[in-house]
Structure 1
Amino acid sequence: MFIYIAGAGAMGCRFGYQLQKSGNEVVLLDSWQAHIDAIKAHGLHIVGDQDEVVPMTIMRPEEAHKQAEFIILFTKAMQLQDMLEKIKPVIGPETKVLCLLNGLGHEDVISKYIKHENIMMGVTVWTAGLKGPGEAILQGKGTINLQSFAAAGEAAVQDIVDTMNAAGLNVIYDNDVVPSIWRKACVNGTMNSTCALTDATIGQFFASEAAIRIVKTIIHEFVLVGTAEGVKLNEQEIVDYVMHTAEIAARHYPSMHQDLIQNHRLTEIDYINGAVARKGAKLGIATPYCQMITDLIHAKESILNIK
């Protein structure tokens, strides 16, 4: 299968590497020139569970020219529309697209470029990191839950599911993936912004009673808004899931900390806590914690003069 990975950060490199290794033709698309130059010159260096250098094709999105069979979206949320606009020429009537971005509401943007029945939304618990340009840290295993917008459901994307499972990506077809997407958003909404604002690892932040009160209040706001939108969410189950995830990832600085504090890059806050605040405002539901966290992250971006 001919596959574009739209966004060749850590997770994009992981998926591209595994899909290429299982026999697919994969092209990484990214705008980070140092990353592009490193992979073109030396290949993608994989470290972690294995140590190898793999030749891979990478280019800027606007350079893509061959029509895609399958595209996996791994951009930052705020870069999604720009990516889709740049790759519009390679999106054909049969091109299938899987969105695995963090956050909420991405289907509204994707549907401007992709036929409804060719869109898949999903959530993944795979992890990855970047040591630097052209060097990906791949450790551990994960899964993917996805759902197709096509009326035929799983049958319409069986070839995609089979292709990804042949690459060891452990895909589970989910007839109602939206609650899983909201649950993952709750993980990000309770860990990413809070650890960025407090300059802490997940374990350091979750160690205090005050932090747990903040976490539970954020989850409550997510559940209120999601439920009002018709999403089936169990608040205690989500609290338990977030606490378990925090225990597993205690030593980890989440991605928003990496973006904001470590690398002084814009964050995805508007698509996580900010999305809940916007949805809540439209529904008449108060979300003061999500709104305050969103404002504080934007204030920090301004303090650091990030544009």
Structure 2
Amino acid sequence: MKIIIAGAGAMGSRFGLMLHQAGNEVVLIDGWQEHIDLIKEHGLRANFNGEEIAEKIVIYHQNELETLNFSADLVILFTKAMQLDAMMQSIKSMVGDQTKVLCLLNGIGHEDVIKQYVPLSNILLGNTMWTAGLEGPGKAKLFGNGTIDLQNLGTEGKSSANEVIEVLNEAKLNARYSDNILSSIYKKACVNGTMNGLCTILDSNMASFGETSVADAIVESIVAEFAQVAAYEKAELNVPEVLAQIKTCYNRETIGLHHPSMYQDLIINNRLTEIDYINGAIVRKGREYGIETPYCQFLTQLVHGKEEILGAK
């Protein structure tokens, strides 16, 4: 399958690498020039479950696609939420009538942007519990296992997603169809809405945060706000199950020593975060629905304050 990975950061690198290794024709697209240059020079390098590897994968800057003759069967979106519209504009010449677009961005509401470029029948909305990190430009750190849940937004449903699921599973990405992806997205948003912002503000990995005496109380308060908004949108959210999922992030023997993507963006790479599309989205929806969201609002403000202090770009 001819696949575009739109956003070749940590997660895009993981998916691009695994799909490339499974024999697909993969093109990476990103906007970070140093990252692009090093991948072109050395290949995509990765610490892949303790093994150092490098794979030659084609990569382009999103602003140099005008002359690229590549018609994608599948686009997987991993760009930052605030960059989604610009990325869709950049790749639109490579998105045909039959191209499926799988959105795996963190946060809520991205389909509103994608449907301006792609019919609902070709949009696959999903979430993934895979993890990944960048040790620097051109070098990924990939460890552990994960899953993907996805749903077709058109009337064809599962039949329109089967080929994509098959390709993902051939790459050992553990994809499965969901009839209620909004619940899965809210469940993951709860993980991101706690681990990302809190570890970023506290300058901590997930295990160290989870071992604090205040972790449970803070997490429960944030998840309660997500659950109220999800209920208003008729998304089923099992709060005890969500809290149990979050607590698995604290395990030092699995992913607890991992720094979440928001920490990597802001603290390591001095980049603006996606807080407005995670906790900030809950604040906006809460205002619309008449739901109080003080914890999400405060955390959103703290992260924006941190961005300003660090001069993030």
Equivalent residue letter for 2:47: V
Q: Secondary structure at the match of 1:95?
A: strand
Q: How does 1:207-226 map to 2 (within 5 A)?
A: 207-226=211-230
Contact kept, 8 Å, 1:126 with 1:142, in 2: the verdict is: yes
Partner deviation per Cα, 1:14-62 (whole Å, 9 max, x = no partner): 1111111112111000111111111111211222323222111000123
Q: Is 210-219 or 273-282 further displaced after alignment? A: 210-219
- Residue 172 of structure 1 pairs with residue 176 of structure 2: yes
Equivalent residue letter for 2:44: L
What is the aligned partner in structure 2 of residue 53 from structure 1? 54
RMSD of aligned C-alpha atoms? 1.4
Partner deviation per Cα, 1:248-273 (whole Å, 9 max, x = no partner): 43222212122222222101100110
Partner deviation per Cα, 1:157-193 (whole Å, 9 max, x = no partner): 2111111111111111111121111111000111111
- Residue 304 of structure 1 pairs with residue 310 of structure 2: yes
Contact kept, 8 Å, 1:74 with 1:100, in 2: the verdict is: yes
* d(CA) in 1 for partners of 2:16, 2:258: 24
Equivalent residue letter for 1:63: E
* d(CA) in 2 for partners of 1:147, 1:246: 29
Query: Alignment partner for residue 209 of structure 2, among 205, 209, 225?
Result: 205
Q: Is 216-225 or 130-139 further displaced after alignment? A: 130-139
* d(CA) in 2 for partners of 1:173, 1:219: 25
| Percentage of matched positions with identical amino acids | 50
Q: Is 134-143 or 214-223 further displaced after alignment? A: 134-143
* d(CA) in 1 for partners of 2:216, 2:108: 23
What is the aligned partner in structure 1 of residue 268 from structure 2? 262
Q: Secondary structure at the match of 2:214?
A: helix
* d(CA) in 2 for partners of 1:138, 1:200: 19
* d(CA) in 2 for partners of 1:250, 1:141: 14
What is the aligned partner in structure 2 of residue 24 from structure 1? 24
Aligned residues between the structures: 307
What is the aligned partner in structure 1 of residue 102 from structure 2? 98
Contact kept, 8 Å, 1:62 with 1:87, in 2: the verdict is: no
* d(CA) in 2 for partners of 1:211, 1:238: 14
Query: By how many angstroms is 1:153 displaced?
Result: 1.2
After the TM superposition, list the runs of 4 or more consecutive aligned residues in structure 1 that deviate by more than 3 angstroms: none
TM-score (structure 2 length as normaliser) = 0.94
Q: Secondary structure at the match of 2:135?
A: strand
What is the aligned partner in structure 2 of residue 82 from structure 1? 86
- Residue 40 of structure 1 pairs with residue 29 of structure 2: no
Q: Secondary structure at the match of 1:105?
A: coil
* d(CA) in 1 for partners of 2:264, 2:53: 25
Gaps of 5+ in 2: none
TM-score (structure 1 length as normaliser) = 0.96
Equivalent residue letter for 1:192: N
